[in-house]
């Protein structure tokens, strides 16, 4: 790493020493009025900037030669202009109003802009398409800083997850077009319910830390903001197919009408992804569709999006015991049972099944060039279950009557059960955006309600007796109302200095009624009022250097599991608070980019696992008074030559819990009489080092090769910092090649080959552990999640 840093610094000095030319310009409308904040980019370089309060831009240190300047501004037609340096005169770029309002306005309120003092990464449609051969969205974002991915089935298809800065997914806010995606009760996002949504995405922004105010679950560690496809003015049809290891197949068909009569547009996509998975029986069968219709004018957009996913996956979430990793890395205990003759079987429908339909009605209106409104209505309907074979279950645990067989009352039976979750999530979001002179202001918010039904049914039993078929043994509901309002102000003191203020108020009402699967009464009500302020400064002494500092406060309410599993005789879980301090510096030149971001995330009452259990043996999440994450994120890019580019990032961090006490079950005495005060320990699943590298080589216009590498440092799988309970550090690399086949039959025909984990690294990306004492000896049960060794995908894309 020291060599990399030295190389970056030498490159910085080189480009600073060879500054030769300055490019000055002004962006204006047809009336000659300056366009403030227009985005000006020099194509195929790292250089770009927004225009100042006079509509001016200035780029220093450019070498003599030919360049292409691209300028964009909301509500205006983008412009591309070729220039040749040296250019002594001031360039004037006059922009014409767009015939239709651009889709970017839909997400403008929740996005970080060029002068927003937060750490963020933008992932373009092109980057998404380059990697999209069937794996879920977390894997397509894996080159963004501080992000670590995992997959239950080991292939990135099916149940997948991610962490950012060590923060788990139920503390990360996710939106699509500004509309919340996180499940309101669990706070998680189940990407398996949104298969191949990536094929309908225009771009993604990942904000690390608290970020800017948004809608839905509290952004307690990061925000992922996705935008679906923009208007495509030309008609098109496209077929994407890929196949590869583990019987993996992906087929996607999409088409669009283009802009009809200058006002209407319709787009549709149909996808199917199947895979056997790397883990035994870890197969996935995923289907989805996306339909969008829009009405466009110069000042308004009215758009309807409908996207739906259906998933059926064999359960692979139990993991593999650590003592089997060396002998059978693909072992899956799900559905395993032993018959009366001692023979092992696997239940063939030990599956997870879920359907999710998403409806969005989006409206944007531009009152004038300074003021626009966004509003949306949304509804999500989800329903599904997971099915399990459970041997030797007590009838009383299922509120079933014990049958009498042959004169003997039978107390237990083998059975098959389904645990269901049906839910409705609906609401509205809005934002009013004003941008004039030195001020860019937003007033926004949302009001959403979630109605969930949790219940379980016994669909089969070896001994059923007089019990009804599909007997329901528990039922509970969760009703959650969440509304927020926020105001944002970006004030430009001068052409170099900006101040940012962002204030949000959020109210939550959460009511749980009914019984859990262990027959406990869950009835309870909770109310929260959160005030989340954010402030920051952004300073740009010139077009190459940018600095910022910020402070943000965030709150997060406990999720359903935190309440459900809480000890009825112990304290009720309370909300968590995060004070996030960030400072960053970015340098950009034509061929070189470097960034550094420092963060200190100070938690109050963060909910963590300590080993404590409740009265029925379920793990309890406990509020830890003091914990923190502190780190440095480095990013860089280097255009080595016209055909070769290298991008890299690395995060070095410390993630600690102060005054940690561990509780361990005591099987000898049937309690928790063992506790260990460990002082300051590492937060689980928080590696000290995360790094990524991507080299892109394009020796010819039609051929390109990407070689990416990922390193994740050692992670502890509980909060004790024990070397006996950890994930080892791992390093793997992927290779992808694309060849654009010349043809007159198609607009585009591309053949792609992707080889994942090309050096066949054997590693595990996730795990769980349970510790206990038996006969005075500490023992453990655990489950690790091995990832696939070398595997490949071959795909073809045809666009008409």
Q: Between 364 and 24, name the one with better pLDDT.
A: 364
Q: Please report the pLDDT score of residue 757 as a whole number.
A: 98
pLDDT range class, residue 20, cuts 50, 70, 90: low
Q: pLDDT at position 570, please?
A: 82
How much of the chain exceeds pLDDT 70, in percent? 97
Q: How far is CA 181 from CA 175, 220, 331, 355, 577, in A?
A: 5, 15, 33, 15, 22
Does 475 have pLDDT greater than 70?
Answer: yes
C-alpha–C-alpha distance, residues 27 and 40, integer Å: 9
Closest CA to 576 of 530, 541, 542: 530
Q: Flag whether pLDDT at 615 surpasses 80.
A: no
Q: Residue 29: count other Cβ atoms within 10 Å of its Cβ.
A: 18
Cβ atoms of residues 758 and 734 within 8 Å: yes
The predicted-structure confidence for 705-762, as pLDDT tens digits, reads as follows: 999 999 999 999 999 999 999 999 999 999 999 999 998 889 999 999 999 999 999 9
* pLDDT one-digit tens code per residue, 550-587: 999 999 999 999 999 998 888 899 999 999 999 999 99
Nearest partner of 240 among 707, 705, 738, judged by Cα: 738
761-794 pLDDT, tens digit each: 999 999 999 999 999 899 999 999 999 999 999 9
**Residue 522 clears pLDDT 50, i.e. is over it:** yes
Helix (H), strand (E) at residue 393 = strand 371-394
What is the pLDDT, as a whole number, of residue 7? Answer: 46
Can you give the pLDDT at residue 618? 79
Number of H helices and E strands in the chain, helices first, is 4, 45
Where would I find the beta strands (DSSP E) of 667-747? 671-682, 689-700, 703-712, 715-716, 726-727, 730-740
Cβ neighbours for 225, distance < 8 A, ≥ 6 positions apart: 107, 110, 111, 174, 175, 178, 204, 205, 206, 207, 214
Cis amide linkage into residue 723, ω under 30° from 0: no
Take residue 477 and report the two structure tokens written for it: 């509901």
Confidence of residue 48 (pLDDT cuts 50, 70, 90): confident
- The CB-based long-range contact list for 359-362 (8 Å cut-off, 24+ gap) reads 359/304, 359/305, 359/306, 360/176, 360/177, 360/179, 360/303, 360/304, 360/305, 360/306, 361/302, 361/303, 361/304, 362/106, 362/177, 362/301, 362/302, 362/303, 362/304, 362/305
CA of 31: how far to CAs of 73, 94, 95, 97, 370, in Å?
15, 9, 10, 11, 15
Q: 209 — phi, psi (to 5°)?
A: 80, -160
pLDDT at residue 87, as a whole number = 72
**Average pLDDT over the chain, rounded to an integer:** 92
At residue 163, does pLDDT exceed 70?
Answer: yes
- Tokens representing 655? 């993630």
Q: Which superfamily, per CATH, for 1-98?
A: Carboxypeptidase-like, regulatory domain (2.60.40.1120)
According to DSSP, residue 78 is labeled: -
> How many CB atoms lie under 10 A from the CB of residue 124?
12
Q: What is the mean pLDDT of residues 474-487?
A: 97
Q: Rounded to an integer, what distance in angstroms lies between the CA atom of residue 533 and that of residue 66?
A: 46
pLDDT tens digit sequence for 110-160 = 899 888 999 999 999 999 999 999 999 999 999 999 999 999 999 999 999
Burial string for 219-254 (b: 16+ CB within 10 Å, else e) reads bbbbbbbbbbbbbeeeeeebebebbbbbebebbbbb
Cβ burial, residue 327 (10 Å; 0-12/13-18/19+): exposed
Does 466 or 597 have the greater pLDDT score? 597
Residue 356's DSSP bridge partners are: 309, 382
Q: For the domain with range 236-799, which CATH number is right: 3.40.50.1970, 2.40.170.20, 2.40.50.140, 3.40.50.1820? A: 2.40.170.20
Q: Is 465 helix (H, G, I), strand (E, B) or coil?
A: coil
Q: What is residue 597's predicted lDDT score, i.e. its pLDDT?
A: 98
CB 245 within 8 A of CB 792: yes
d(C-alpha 405, C-alpha 107), whole Å: 65
Residue 616 pLDDT greater than 80, yes or no:
no
Q: Containing H/E element for 402? A: none
Q: What are phi and psi of 10, to 5 degrees?
A: -65, -40
pLDDT band at 15 (very low <50, low <70, confident <90, very high): very low
Q: What length is written for the chain?
A: 800
Sign of the alpha-carbon dihedral angle for 108, 130, 223, 253: positive
pLDDT at position 188: 92
**CA dist., res. 739 & res. 700, Å (int):** 9
Distance of CA 795 to the CA centre of its chain: 25
Residue 97 is given by DSSP the state B
- Is the predicted pLDDT of residue 422 greater than 60, yes or no? yes
In angstroms, rounded to a whole number, what is the distance separating the alpha carbons of residues 636 and 591? 11
Residue 307's DSSP bridge partners are 290, 358
DSSP code of residue 571:
P
pLDDT band at 234 (very low <50, low <70, confident <90, very high): very high
- Greater confidence (89 vs 503) lies with 503
- Mean pLDDT of the region 501-511: 97
Sign of CA dihedral 364, 365, 366, 367: negative
Gap between the Cα atoms of 83 and 93, Å rounded: 12
- Tokens read off for 188: 């998680």
- The pLDDT score that the predictor gives to residue 617 is 73
CATH 2.60.40.1120 in the chain, residues?
1-98
Distance of CA 167 to the CA centre of its chain: 11
Which residues in the chain are classed under CATH 2.40.170.20?
236-799
What is the pTM for the complete model shown? 0.92
Encode pLDDT of 255-282 as tens digits.
999 999 999 999 999 999 999 999 999 9
215 compared with 419, residue with greater pLDDT: 419
CA distance 482 to 508: 5
Q: Two tokens at 751?
A: 């053949």
* Contact status, residue 387 vs residue 350, Cβ threshold 8 Å: yes
């Amino acid at each position: 790493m020291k060599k990399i840093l030295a190389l970056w610094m030498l490159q910085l000095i080189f480009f600073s020493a060879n500054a030769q030319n300055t490019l000055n310009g002004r962006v204006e409308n047809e009336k000659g009025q300056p366009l403030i904040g227009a985005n000006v980019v020099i194509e195929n370089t790292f250089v770009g900037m927004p225009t100042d309060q006079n509509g001016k831009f200035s780029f220093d240190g450019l070498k003599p030669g030919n360049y292409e300047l691209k300028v964009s501004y909301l509500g205006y037609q983008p412009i591309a202009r070729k220039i040749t340096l040296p250019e002594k005169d001031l360039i004037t770029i006059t922009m014409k109003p767009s015939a239709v309002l651009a889709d970017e306005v839909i997400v403008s309120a929740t996005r970080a802009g060029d002068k927003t003092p937060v750490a963020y990464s933008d992932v373009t449609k092109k980057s998404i398409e380059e990697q999209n051969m069937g794996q879920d969205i977390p894997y397509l974002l894996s080159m963004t800083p501080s992000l670590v991915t995992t997959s239950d089935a080991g292939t990135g298809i099916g149940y997948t997850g991610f962490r950012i800065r060590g923060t788990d997914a139920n503390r990360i806010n996710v939106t699509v077009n500004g509309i919340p995606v996180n499940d309101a009760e669990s706070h998680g996002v189940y990407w398996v319910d949104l298969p191949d949504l990536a094929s309908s995405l225009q771009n993604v922004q990942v904000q690390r830390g608290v970020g800017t105010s948004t809608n839905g679950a509290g952004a307690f560690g990061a925000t992922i903001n996705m935008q679906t496809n923009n208007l495509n003015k030309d008609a098109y049809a496209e077929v994407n197919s890929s196949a590869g290891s583990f019987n993996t197949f992906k087929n996607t068909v999409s088409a669009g009408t283009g802009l009809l009569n200058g006002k209407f547009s319709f787009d549709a996509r149909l996808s199917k992804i199947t895979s056997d998975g790397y883990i035994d029986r870890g197969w996935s069968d995923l289907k989805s569709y996306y339909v969008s219709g829009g009405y466009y004018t110069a000042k308004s957009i009215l758009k309807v999006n409908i996207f739906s996913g259906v998933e059926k996956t064999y359960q692979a979430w139990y993991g593999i015991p650590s003592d089997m990793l060396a002998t059978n890395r693909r072992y899956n205990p799900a559905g395993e049972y032993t018959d009366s003759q001692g023979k092992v079987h696997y239940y063939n429908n030990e599956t997870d099944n879920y359907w999710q339909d998403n409806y969005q009605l989006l409206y944007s209106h531009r009152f004038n060039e300074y003021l626009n409104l966004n509003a949306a209505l949304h509804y999500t309907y989800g329903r599904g279950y997971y099915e399990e074979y459970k041997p030797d279950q007590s009838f009383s645990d299922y509120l079933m009557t014990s049958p009498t067989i042959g004169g003997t009352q039978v107390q237990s039976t083998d059975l098959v059960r389904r645990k269901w979750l049906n839910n409705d999530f609906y609401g509205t979001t809005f934002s009013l955006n004003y941008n004039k002179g030195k001020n860019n202001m937003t007033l926004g918010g949302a009001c959403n309600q979630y109605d969930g039904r949790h219940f379980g049914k016994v669909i089969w039993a070896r001994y059923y007796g007089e019990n009804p078929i599909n007997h329901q043994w528990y039922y509970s509901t969760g009703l959650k109302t969440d509304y927020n309002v926020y105001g944002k102000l970006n004030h430009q003191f001068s052409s170099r200095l900006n101040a940012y203020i962002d204030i949000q108020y959020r109210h939550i009402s959460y009511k749980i009624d009914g019984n859990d699967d262990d027959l406990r009464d869950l009835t309870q009500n909770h109310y929260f009022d959160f005030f989340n302020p954010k402030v920051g400064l952004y300073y740009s002494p010139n077009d190459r250097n940018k600095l910022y500092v910020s402070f943000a406060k965030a709150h997060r309410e406990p999720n359903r599991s935190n309440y459900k599993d809480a000890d009825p005789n112990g304290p009720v879980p309370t909300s968590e608070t995060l004070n996030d301090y960030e400072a960053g510096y970015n340098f950009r030149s034509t061929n070189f980019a470097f960034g550094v971001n420092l963060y200190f995330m100070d938690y109050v009452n963060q909910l963590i696992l300590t080993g404590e259990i409740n009265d029925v043996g379920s793990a309890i999440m406990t509020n830890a008074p003091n914990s923190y994450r502190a780190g440095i994120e480095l990013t860089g890019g280097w255009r080595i030559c016209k055909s070769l580019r290298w991008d890299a990032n690395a995060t070095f961090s410390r993630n600690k819990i102060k005054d940690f006490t561990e509780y361990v079950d005591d099987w000898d005495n049937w309690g928790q009489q063992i506790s260990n005060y460990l002082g300051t320990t590492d937060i689980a699943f928080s590696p000290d080092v995360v790094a990524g590298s991507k080299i892109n080589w394009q020796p010819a216009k039609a051929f390109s090769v990407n070689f990416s590498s990922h390193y994740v440092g050692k992670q502890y799988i509980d909060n004790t910092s024990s070397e006996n309970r950890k994930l080892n550090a791992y390093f793997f690399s992927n290779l992808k090649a694309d060849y654009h086949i010349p043809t007159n039959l198609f607009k585009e025909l591309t053949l792609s080959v992707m080889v994942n984990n090309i050096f066949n690294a054997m590693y595990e990306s996730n795990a769980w552990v349970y510790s206990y004492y038996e006969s005075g000896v500490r023992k453990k049960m655990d489950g690790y999640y091995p990832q696939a060794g070398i595997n490949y995908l071959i795909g073809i894309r045809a666009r008409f």
